[in-house]
Every structure is written in C-alpha cells, then in structure tokens.
C-alpha cells in the first residue's frame, strides 16, 4: 500500500477513535451537562500537550455480537502530557463506548499507563465514568479490574494518584478510586456504591435514592470516601490541576516552588486577638491557618468530612506544606473516629511525598460516648500517633489553646518525633481540665471544707494558673518556645528553612502494621 493510502487509513482510524461512541452519544452527554472523555482530557492537560497511547487498541471479545462493536480505543482514553509544564499520566473512561464498561483491553490500557507513570515518576489522574465490568466478557473483565487494583496498590506512595468520579462507578469498580490518594466527585452527575438502591431494598428493605446513597455530597460529608466536591466537570478538572500544583511528581522528588510575593517574615497582629480569653468560647481555626500561610494558598482537603479537624495543602514562601488542625467550631475540636482517620491518612500522604506537616492544635481530648468506644476509637485514634511517629518529614506543631490528655500526646507532640513545638501564651497543656482535675485529686479535701464550693473554686483557680498554661511544658523542653500569635508565620518559616535538609529514618522493616 502506498504511504499516502496508509496515511489516509491512519487518519480514518484516528478519527474513529476520537469520535468515541459517535456524535449522537456525545450530544446526549452534553445535554446531561457532562463532557466527553476527550474533552475532559483536553481540559486537564496544558494545551496541545496530550499524547494518546493505545488509541487504536480494540477489545478481543467475539461473544454476543461484540465482533461487530469494535471501536478503536475501546472505552478509555489513555496517555500523558503536561500540567503546568510537568508530566502527568491520565486515563478517562468513555461512557459513549459501551457505557465506558471495562473490557480486559480497557484494563490493559489503564495498567500500561500506571506502569509507565511509576517508571517515569509522574502522577496519575483517573477520570472514572463507567457502567462497570463489560458484561459480555465475564470473568476476563473482573481479572482486569483486579489487575488495576494491584497496580494502584503498588503505585501507592510512589507517585500521587488522583481519581475523579464523573459518572457511575459501582460495585468493585469503586475500589480503584478508593485505593488512590484523593477522590473528586462531581455534584449530581456522579455516584459510587458497592451495592445500589435496588439491591439494598431487596436485602435490607431500606429505601434510599441513588444520590443520597452514593452521590457526591454523601461521600464528601458522610462516608469520607471523597475528598473534594466539584460543581461541574469543568470545575472538577480545574480543582485537580490546582491540587497537582502542591504535589511532587513522585516520592523521590520535592513539590514545585512557586514565586511568592507574600513576605515570609510578615507579622500578623490580628492573630493576637483570634483566640478568645474565655477558653470555652469557640473560634474558627481557619482564621489562624489562612492568615499564616501564603495569601490565598490554603487548599482544604476533606472540607465537608469530620469538620472537627482541618487538613489541607498550603504554601509558605512558595513551598508546599501539609496543614493539620483541630477546629474548635465543631465538637469543640475533639478527636473522634472520623477525624482520626482524616488526620492520619493525610499525614501519611504528606510523609510519602516529602511535604512538611504543620499542625495547629486546640483539642480538649477524644470524644466520649459508646458510639465512639464501640466504633473503635482506640484503634482509630491510635492511627494519629502512628502517622506522626513514623513520619520522617519536617514536623512543626503550634498549640494555640487546649492540649489535654492523650490528645496532647498524639497531636504532633515532641514525644512522637515533632521537630519544632511552639505554643501561644493562651496554651493549656495538662492532663485534664482544671474542674475535672480538682474533683479527682482534692475529693477528700473538698469533703472536709467548711465551704466546699469556695474551696473548690480556689483549687480550680490554683490548678489553672499552674497547669493550664504552656509554661510547665516549656520548662521541660516539650515546648521549644512560647510565641506571640503575631509571630506565627515568621517562626514557622524559620523552622521550615532550618529543617529543609532534615534527614531521619525508621528502623528497617518490610512495612509497619498501622491499626486499621
């Protein structure tokens, strides 16, 4: 065949691949307000940078008339390109081709991308939109899923993996996003569940809508399966690009440093009045975090889940950090099961990818209750200790107010290998609150007192002035410095600069056994 003819055939094949399931199906997607796989990919990558891999690959199934339905590319667009100039790999399931269902060929294409990404040391973004296992292929498709899960697992901690759920993602298919580092969901047009509403109704007689069961808000606020909520496909892609800007390309790399015109030695006078004098009065920890980091740089993760804790990425002097904080506005900032999982998983991500962890602490303790105890708060709460203790990245902790009991130990204390521990003058570092402490240690004394209430108040005031302060901890070296809140940004940036070349290791082992 002459070159001209081959080129013509190539163009025809490429056009067929780019057309996916056809104009009508793409138009139907647009009517639903969602983009096609190719459009999503185009938005994700820097203009013109995307290189498609396996564009002409087809499935190998001949059953149920499938030999008549071979579309080049077969239900997934895979490849690589650049995002803000850095290499990123991606796959986008194409719902217009057999409902984006997963054939073994689709799985092979996704696995190829995951393997290339690991070798090249670049993040992977998976855009999920699929009716699940290609029913016509049976167990071959299931094998394909398992092969993807296996590669997701092997890539975990090697390159950042980001998933977006932009349509259906049901049954075992949801385990691929679940194995990745961050999950985005698009409001109203995506859902994820292991078993759908119909199965639930027939088994448990519960009635629940698809949206309530597995929609974007349910997974962002209730289950914590999703970390980010997007208003539309476009918004989702913009958010993914922003998240990537905080992440290194792989576990041997450091995050990109951005130009920063916010001075690192900026004094923040307004922080001197954020923590209320009455220690039972709540305040918004976002005010302290937002004022401390580079202006506008805080990107909250899990913003709708376990709101008694805050986690997210930010920059100081243009360098990316992970922020962990308690939030006194919700449950007084207590640690519960969900907050423990949220915090521990985030710290472990930061440690995998060389991002320093800065902790803002105001925590009265663990949340009491049978629900928490029977739900395993001991096991879940232990994850926070584990995550801080094993992390070898720079760790800086600032106690803004309460730091009581076990919560003192776990929230990035010196004893779990934090490098720099600071406290505001308003910090209260003690085994328990003054009222509880006096009731226990002076029970006999109070019984004998002529005026027990007056005596109790006297003892509470004495305990508070002696222990509900940062000074005892500072005397012991558990706190390196008590700082004026206005100095927060300066001190953190000095500590980060001092720790920039930190080297620390853990004992040799295959891997640890975090209490799951």
State the residues that interact with ligand HXC by CB under 6 A.
98-99, 101, 131-135, 142, 145, 168, 170-173
Q: Decide: 490 and 266 in contact? Cβ < 8 Å.
A: yes
Structure token digits, residue 303: 């913003």
d(CA 308, CA 300): 13
From the CB of 173, what's the least distance to ligand HXC, in Å?
5
Indicate if 144 belongs to the active site. Answer: no
Maximum pairwise Cα distance, the chain: 110
3-state secondary structure of 206: coil
Structure tokens at 146: 């398992």
CA dihedral 76→81→84→88, nearest 10 degrees, is 70
Least distance to ligand HXC, CB of residue 66, Å: 9
Query: Given 318, 405, 406, 436, which residue is catalytic?
Result: 406
Active site residue 85: no
Closest separation between CB of residue 112 and ligand HXC, Å? Answer: 19
Spatial distance between the Cα atoms of 322 and 300, rounded to a whole number of angstroms: 10
In angstroms, what is the minimal distance from the CB of 165 to ligand HXC?
A: 13
- Show Cβ contacts of residue 204 under 8 Å, excluding neighbours closer than 6 positions: none
Of 64 and 431, CB closest to ligand HXC: 64
Q: C-alpha distances in angstroms, 71 versus 6, 100, 447?
A: 19, 12, 85
| Nearest to ligand HXC of 173, 311 (CB atom) | 173
Give the containing element (helix H, strand E) for 24. Answer: helix 23-31
CA separation (Å) from 258 to 296, 319, 450?
13, 7, 66
Query: From CA 123, how far away is CA 419, in angstroms rounded?
Result: 29
Determine contact, residues 72/44, Cβ cutoff 8 Å: no
Element (H, E) at 495: helix 488-498
Q: Which of 22, 138, 172, 296 is catalytic?
A: 172
Residue 32 beta carbon to ligand HXC: minimum distance, rounded to whole angstroms: 8
For the bound state, the minimum distance from the C-beta of residue 239 to ligand HXC, rounded and expressed in Å, comes to: 24
Choice among 407, 418, 423, 434 that is catalytic: 407
Q: Which residue number, 132 or 197, has a Cβ lying nearer to ligand HXC?
A: 132
Instruction: Compute φ and ψ for 402, nearest 5 degrees.
Output: -80, 140
Residue among 307, 418, 295 nearest 358 (CA)? 418
Rounded to a whole number of angstroms, the minimum distance from the CB of residue 198 to ligand HXC is 10
172 is catalytic: yes
- Among 352, 88, 94, smallest CA distance to 240 is for 88
Shorter beta-carbon distance to ligand HXC: residue 213 or 367 = 213
Q: Is 81 among the residues known to form the active site?
A: no
76-83/357-363 β-pairing: unpaired
In the complex, the smallest distance separating the C-beta of residue 145 from ligand HXC, rounded to whole angstroms, is 4
Sign of the four-CA dihedral 253, 259, 264, 266: negative
Of the listed 121, 143, 157, 171, which one is catalytic?
A: 171
**173/398 with CB nearer ligand HXC:** 173
Nearest CB to ligand HXC, comparing residues 78 and 93: 93
Which string of b and e fits 1-40 if b means at least 16 CB within 10 Å?
eeeeeeeeeeeeeeebbebbbeeebbeebeeeebbbbbbb
- Cβ proximity to ligand HXC: between 99 and 364 the closer is 99
> Residue 94 or residue 362: which is nearer to ligand HXC going by CB?
94
> Which residues are known to be catalytic?
171-172, 406-407
């Amino acid at each position: 065949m002459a070159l001209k003819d081959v080129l013509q055939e190539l163009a025809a094949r490429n056009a067929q691949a780019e057309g996916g399931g056809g104009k009508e199906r793409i138009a139907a997607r647009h009517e639903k307000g969602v983009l096609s796989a190719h459009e999503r990919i185009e938005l994700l990558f820097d203009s013109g940078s995307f290189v498609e891999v396996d564009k002409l690959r087809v499935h190998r199934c001949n059953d149920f008339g499938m030999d008549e339905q071979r579309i080049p590319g077969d239900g997934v667009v895979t490849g690589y390109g650049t995002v803000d100039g850095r290499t990123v790999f991606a796959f986008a399931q194409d719902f217009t081709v057999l409902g984006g269902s997963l054939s073994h060929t689709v799985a092979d294409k996704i696995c190829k991308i995951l393997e290339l990404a690991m070798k090249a040391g670049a993040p992977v973004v998976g855009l999920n939109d699929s009716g699940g296992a290609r029913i016509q292929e049976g167990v071959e498709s299931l094998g394909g899923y398992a092969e993807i899960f296996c590669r997701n697992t092997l890539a975990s901690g090697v390159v950042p993996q980001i998933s977006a759920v932009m349509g259906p993602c049901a049954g075992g298919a949801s385990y691929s996003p679940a194995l990745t580092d961050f999950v985005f969901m698009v409001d109203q047009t995506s859902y994820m569940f292991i078993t759908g509403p119909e199965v639930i109704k027939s088994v448990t007689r519960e009635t629940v809508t698809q949206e309530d069961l597995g929609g974007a808000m349910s997974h962002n606020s209730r289950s914590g399966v999703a970390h980010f909520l997007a208003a539309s496909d476009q918004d989702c892609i913009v958010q993914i690009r922003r998240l990537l800007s905080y992440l290194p390309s792989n576990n041997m790399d450091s995050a990109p440093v951005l130009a920063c015109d916010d001075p690192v030695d900026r004094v923040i006078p307004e922080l001197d009045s954020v923590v209320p004098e009455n220690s039972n009065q709540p305040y918004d920890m976002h005010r302290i975090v937002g004022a401390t980091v580079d202006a506008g740089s805080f990107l909250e993760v899990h913003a709708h889940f376990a709101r008694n804790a805050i986690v997210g990425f930010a920059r100081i002097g243009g360098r990316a950090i992970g922020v962990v904080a308690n939030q006194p506005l919700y449950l007084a900032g207590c640690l519960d099961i969900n907050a423990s999982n949220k915090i521990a998983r985030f710290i472990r991500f930061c440690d995998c990818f060389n991002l320093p962890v800065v902790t803002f602490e105001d925590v009265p303790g663990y949340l009491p209750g049978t629900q928490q105890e029977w739900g395993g708060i001991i096991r879940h709460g232990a994850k926070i200790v584990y995550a801080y203790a094993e992390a070898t990245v720079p760790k800086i902790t600032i106690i803004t107010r309460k730091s009581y009991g076990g919560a003192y130990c776990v929230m990035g204390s010196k004893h779990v290998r934090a490098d720099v521990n600071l406290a505001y003058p308003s910090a209260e570092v003690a085994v328990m609150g003054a009222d509880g402490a006096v009731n226990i240690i002076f029970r006999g004394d109070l019984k004998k007192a002529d005026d027990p209430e007056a005596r109790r108040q006297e003892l509470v005031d004495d305990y508070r002035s002696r222990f509900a302060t940062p000074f005892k901890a500072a005397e012991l070296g558990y706190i390196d410095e008590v700082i004026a809140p206005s100095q927060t940004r300066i001190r953190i940036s000095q500590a980060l600069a001092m720790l920039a070349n930190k080297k620390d290791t853990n004992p040799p082992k295959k891997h640890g056994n975090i209490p799951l």
